[in-house]
């Protein structure tokens, strides 16, 4: 079956078929992959439990689909083009053949270090080729990877390691990001003080900084590779995995509690990421695809590693940041590697736009034919700039909406095939059945409606559970609206039936495309010894999309406010990571609360948005006068 739809008519026909006969549709897609043994049943599902199984009893290995199956025809084709942080360092290109070799070697390293099928492996690496190598090596032997983004703190790493009971950690001495060196091994050392499950740590040399190495626990990546070489076992057969065996865990924040481990399984995730990659970007075999995300997030898992590689594509990965050494870095990479498809986030576009057109004008971007956006709503100004300055008005922009839990893109234009409109994710992909519901759960039919976005039918890439706590998965995603997956997003379907995502309707912030849970952040702030209570809300931020605004009640002791702000930020960096630091901290004597003690975030949101006219009736609050006081304080903050 052809994965790419040809034109709009083909899209419509394919979409209709996929809804009428979803099992037949997905079976056709799945057959384009290599299975060790075919499934006996395409789909069984029950959203109430939830219990979702795709390609039941099918046997498969995703690393084999990403590597081995391309070797015969495309062994010398570049699989990964790696661009280093420092432009004066040489790029590295790994062909499919070379990548397979490295994955097999490292898979044997993992085995030598006691990793077995089903074991959990935590990966905390910079954006270097060894990161996808480690991921694919885990997949090859059936170990479950849990990648932790390099911006998270020691505390966050140890929470994740303990939750999944990882037995091994893969890290590096340090990593480069712009002008900074991040001391990854030292952060891991701090994390491991409270992690009893970890037996081994494999340390890659990248920054060549001094690190502590503990005998019996810590080993060097390079030494372990030499051992494997001297053992003379260059190959590592791909483990036979069940379609529903867990492939990986990826932690993500929600509106309550600690981050949860989203679980993706092997067969469905493989089929879904491969399919959406090919179709949405209309990938042609010679094209160079560059996704600027970090592999620590789902976008990198699905569209740097698994999606492109399962389709035999050439995937560019970049170690650094788009603004270093200057704001032209991304355009230099496009020019240097002749990138055809660029997939990035609105926050990056806005920051490069703000830096000035002189960084993009004059760069040769003529290779670009298609553009993508992901992670947050894109404002019209940024969309237009991206279209004109980067795409020169000739490259369709696919505004792809999806979530960590979804595995891959759900609602998006198909490049050059379906229409685009600034700020709109447009239409559901074949196989995806979105519905809008009102607060009471009534399905809103027809066009020109807005409500909460749900998906009423399973797709292969959806999460199956949350690690170690299935009930939490049911509660979070399947209990708000009966028989449907609830996304947490608000959405408009306009008169033409086009979808526009309007943002989260729960207490989750989206800061520079990163998901921040307000409850998690409040807990971190409340751990500061001088803090009595706090409340977090998002506010519109010109570059980050949303900024973090913290209202904080301090104890009665006299404080140096600026110093206390620094202390609070340092506390947040320790507990969660620097990405969660508030942009604004306003000290308040109290918070607006109902008589039952519930914080009225709605009022705080109105205050930070400057929407003072629509705060509404405050007379039922425990102390209505506090609203005036907070308003006055807020006016002085900006
Ligand atoms: C949340 C998911 C998708 C991978 C990266 C983020 C928001 C995502 C869009 C978009 C408007 C978007 C949603 C969603 N979001 N893409 N194209 N337009 N909003 O994954 O960290 O799981 O965050 O990001 O609010 O729920 P994530």
**Local structure of residue 579 (DSSP, 8 states):** G
H or E element, residue 204: strand 200-204
Q: Is the C-beta atom of 294 inside 6 A of ligand 1?
A: no
Q: What's the rounded mean pLDDT across residues 342-365? A: 97
Q: What's the rounded mean pLDDT across residues 385-394? A: 98
How far apart (Å, rounded) are the C-alpha atoms in residues 574 and 376?
A: 26
How far apart (Å, rounded) are the C-alpha atoms in residues 603 and 23?
A: 47
DSSP secondary structure, 178-201, as one string: TTEEE-HHHHHHHHHTT-TT--EE
Residue 118 CA to ligand 1 center (angstroms) comes to 29
DSSP secondary structure, 27-51, as one string: HHHHTTS--SB--SEEEEEETTTTE
Would you say residue 590 has pLDDT above 90?
Answer: yes
Question: Considering only CA atoms, which residue is closest to atom 17 of ligand 1?
Answer: 401
Pull the structure tokens for residue 308.
């492109």
Strand, coil or helix: what is 73? helix
Within 8 A by CB and 6+ apart from 241, the residues are 59, 60, 61, 62, 142, 247, 266
Residue 567 CA to ligand 1 center (angstroms) comes to 31
Q: Is the C-beta atom of 425 inside 6 A of ligand 1?
A: yes
**Residue matched to tokens 């030499």:** 226
Residue 152 CA to ligand 1 center (angstroms) comes to 19
| Nearest atom of ligand 1 to the alpha carbon of 514 | 21
Question: Considering only CA atoms, which residue is closest to atom 2 of ligand 1?
Answer: 403
Question: Considering only CA atoms, which residue is closest to atom 27 of ligand 1?
Answer: 403
Q: Is the C-beta atom of 313 inside 6 A of ligand 1?
A: no
Question: Considering only CA atoms, which residue is closest to atom 10 of ligand 1?
Answer: 401
Question: Considering only CA atoms, which residue is closest to atom 20 of ligand 1?
Answer: 403
How far apart (Å, rounded) are the C-alpha atoms in residues 165 and 146?
A: 10
Residue 499 CA to ligand 1 center (angstroms) comes to 14
Question: Considering only CA atoms, which residue is closest to atom 12 of ligand 1?
Answer: 376
Q: Is the C-beta atom of 399 inside 6 A of ligand 1?
A: yes
Strand-pairing partners, residue 182, are 175
**Lowest-confidence pick of 100-109, 422-431, 625-634:** 625-634
| Nearest atom of ligand 1 to the alpha carbon of 377 | 11
Q: Is the C-beta atom of 376 inside 6 A of ligand 1?
A: yes
Strand-pairing partners, residue 400, are 374
Q: Is the C-beta atom of 452 inside 6 A of ligand 1?
A: no
Question: Considering only CA atoms, which residue is closest to atom 19 of ligand 1?
Answer: 376
Strand-pairing partners, residue 547, are 539
Q: What's the rounded mean pLDDT across residues 84-109? A: 98
Q: What's the rounded mean pLDDT across residues 38-53? A: 98
Q: Is the C-beta atom of 516 inside 6 A of ligand 1?
A: no
Strand-pairing partners, residue 492, are 450, 500
Q: Is the C-beta atom of 501 inside 6 A of ligand 1?
A: yes
Strand, coil or helix: what is 56? strand
How far apart (Å, rounded) are the C-alpha atoms in residues 520 and 499?
A: 30
| Nearest atom of ligand 1 to the alpha carbon of 515 | 21
Would you say residue 558 has pLDDT above 90?
Answer: no
Crossing angle, helix 130-141 and helix 96-112, to 10 degrees? Answer: 60
pLDDT of residue 433: 98
Question: Considering only CA atoms, which residue is closest to atom 7 of ligand 1?
Answer: 376
Residue 563 CA to ligand 1 center (angstroms) comes to 35
Q: What's the rounded mean pLDDT across residues 431-439? A: 97
Backbone angles phi, psi at 231, to 5 degrees: -75, -15
Residue 374 CA to ligand 1 center (angstroms) comes to 7
Candidate from 300, 450, 510 with most ligand 1 atoms within 8 A of CB, to mutate: 510
Q: Is the C-beta atom of 315 inside 6 A of ligand 1?
A: no
Q: Is the C-beta atom of 403 inside 6 A of ligand 1?
A: yes
pLDDT, tens only, 224-268:
999 999 998 889 999 999 999 999 999 999 888 899 999 999 999
Q: Is the C-beta atom of 260 inside 6 A of ligand 1?
A: no
CA distances from 83 to 88, 129, 315, 477, 501 (A): 10, 10, 11, 38, 33
Q: What is the mean pLDDT of the chain?
A: 97
Q: What's the rounded mean pLDDT across residues 314-341? A: 98
Residue 402 CA to ligand 1 center (angstroms) comes to 5
Candidate from 343, 399, 403, 408 with most ligand 1 atoms within 8 A of CB, to mutate: 403
| Nearest atom of ligand 1 to the alpha carbon of 487 | 26
The closest alpha carbon to 481, from 438, 446, 434, belongs to: 438
Strand-pairing partners, residue 490, are 452, 503
Q: Is the C-beta atom of 546 inside 6 A of ligand 1?
A: no
Please report, rounded to a whole number, the percentage of residues in the chain having pLDDT higher than 90.
95
pLDDT, tens only, 192-218:
999 999 999 999 999 999 999 999 999
pLDDT, tens only, 272-315:
999 999 999 999 999 999 999 999 999 999 999 999 999 999 99
Backbone angles phi, psi at 351, to 5 degrees: -70, -35
Q: Is the C-beta atom of 377 inside 6 A of ligand 1?
A: yes
| Nearest atom of ligand 1 to the alpha carbon of 404 | 22
| Nearest atom of ligand 1 to the alpha carbon of 411 | 17
ipTM of the complex: 0.99
H or E element, residue 399: strand 397-400
Query: What is the reported pTM?
Result: 0.97
pLDDT of residue 497: 98
For 480-502, b/e burial (b = at least 16 CB within 10 A) is bbeebbbbbbbbbbeeeebbbbe
First to last CA, the chain: 57
How far apart (Å, rounded) are the C-alpha atoms in residues 85 and 191?
A: 26
Would you say residue 638 has pLDDT above 80?
Answer: no
How far apart (Å, rounded) are the C-alpha atoms in residues 199 and 167?
A: 5
pLDDT of residue 616: 85
Residue 403 CA to ligand 1 center (angstroms) comes to 5
**Local structure of residue 63 (DSSP, 8 states):** H
pLDDT, tens only, 152-202:
999 999 999 999 999 999 999 999 999 999 999 999 999 999 999 999 999
How far apart (Å, rounded) are the C-alpha atoms in residues 14 and 8?
A: 10
Would you say residue 73 has pLDDT above 80?
Answer: yes
| Nearest atom of ligand 1 to the alpha carbon of 488 | 26
Would you say residue 557 has pLDDT above 90?
Answer: no
């Amino acid at each position: 079956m052809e994965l790419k739809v040809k034109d709009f008519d083909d899209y419509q026909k394919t979409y209709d078929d996929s809804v009428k006969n979803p099992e037949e549709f997905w079976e056709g897609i799945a057959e384009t992959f290599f299975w060790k043994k075919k499934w006996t049943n395409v789909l069984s599902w029950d959203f109430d439990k939830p219990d979702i199984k795709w390609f039941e009893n099918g046997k498969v290995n995703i690393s084999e689909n990403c590597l081995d199956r391309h070797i015969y025809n495309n062994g010398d084709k570049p699989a990964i083009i790696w661009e280093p942080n420092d432009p004066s360092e040489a790029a590295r290109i790994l062909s499919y053949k070379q990548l397979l070799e490295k994955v097999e070697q490292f898979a044997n390293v993992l085995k030598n270090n006691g990793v077995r099928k089903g074991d959990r492996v935590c990966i905390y690496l910079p954006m270097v080729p060894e990161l996808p190598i480690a991921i694919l090596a885990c997949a090859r032997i059936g170990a479950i990877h849990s990648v932790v983004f390099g911006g998270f703190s020691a505390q966050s790493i140890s929470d994740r390691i303990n939750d999944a009971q990882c037995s091994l950690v893969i890290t590096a001495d340090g990593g480069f990001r712009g002008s900074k060196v991040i001391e990854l091994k030292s952060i891991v050392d701090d994390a491991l003080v409270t992690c009893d499950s970890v037996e081994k740590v494999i340390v890659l040399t990248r920054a060549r900084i001094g690190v502590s190495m503990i005998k019996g626990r810590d080993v060097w990546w390079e030494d372990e590779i030499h051992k494997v070489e001297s053992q003379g076992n260059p190959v590592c057969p791909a483990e036979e995995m069940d379609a529903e065996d867990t492939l990986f865990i990826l932690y993500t924040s929600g509106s309550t509690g600690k981050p949860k481990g989203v679980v993706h399984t092997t067969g469905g995730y493989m089929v879904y990421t491969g399919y959406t990659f090919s179709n949405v970007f209309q990938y042609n075999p010679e094209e160079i695809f560059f996704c600027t995300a970090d592999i620590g997030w789902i976008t990198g898992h699905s569209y740097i590693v698994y999606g492109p590689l399962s389709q035999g594509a050439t995937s560019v990965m970049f170690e650094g940041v788009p603004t270093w050494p200057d704001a032209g870095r991304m355009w230099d990479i496009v020019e240097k590697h002749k990138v055809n498809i660029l997939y990035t986030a609105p926050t990056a576009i806005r920051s490069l736009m703000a830096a000035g057109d002189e960084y993009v004008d004059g760069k040769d971007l003529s290779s670009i034919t298609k553009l993508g956006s992901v992670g947050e709503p894109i404002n019209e100004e940024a969309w237009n700039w991206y279209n004109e300055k980067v795409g020169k008005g000739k490259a369709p922009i696919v505004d792809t909406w999806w979530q960590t839990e979804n595995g891959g893109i759900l609602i998006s234009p198909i490049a050059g095939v379906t229409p685009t409109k600034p700020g709109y994710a447009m239409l559901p992909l074949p196989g995806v059945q979105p519905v809008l519901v009102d607060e009471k759960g009534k399905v809103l039919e027809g066009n020109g409606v807005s409500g909460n976005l749900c998906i009423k039918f399973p797709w292969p890439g959806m999460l199956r559970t949350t690690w170690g706590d299935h009930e939490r998965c049911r509660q979070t995603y399947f209990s708000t609206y009966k028989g449907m997956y609830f996304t947490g997003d608000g959405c408009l379907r306009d008169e033409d039936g086009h979808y526009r995502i309007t943002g989260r309707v729960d207490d989750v912030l989206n800061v520079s495309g990163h998901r921040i849970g307000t409850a998690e952040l409040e807990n971190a702030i409340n751990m500061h010894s001088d803090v009595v209570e706090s409340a977090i809300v998002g506010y519109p931020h010109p570059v980050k999309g949303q900024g973090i605004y913290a209202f904080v009640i301090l104890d009665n002791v006299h404080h140096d406010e600026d110093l206390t702000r620094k202390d609070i930020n340092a506390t947040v960096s320790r507990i969660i990571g620097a990405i969660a630091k508030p942009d604004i901290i306003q000290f308040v004597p109290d918070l607006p609360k109902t008589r039952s003690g519930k914080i009225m975030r709605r009022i705080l949101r109105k205050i930070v948005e400057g929407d003072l006219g629509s705060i509404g009736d405050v007379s039922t609050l425990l102390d209505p006068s506090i609203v005036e006081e907070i308003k006055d304080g807020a006016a002085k903050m900006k």
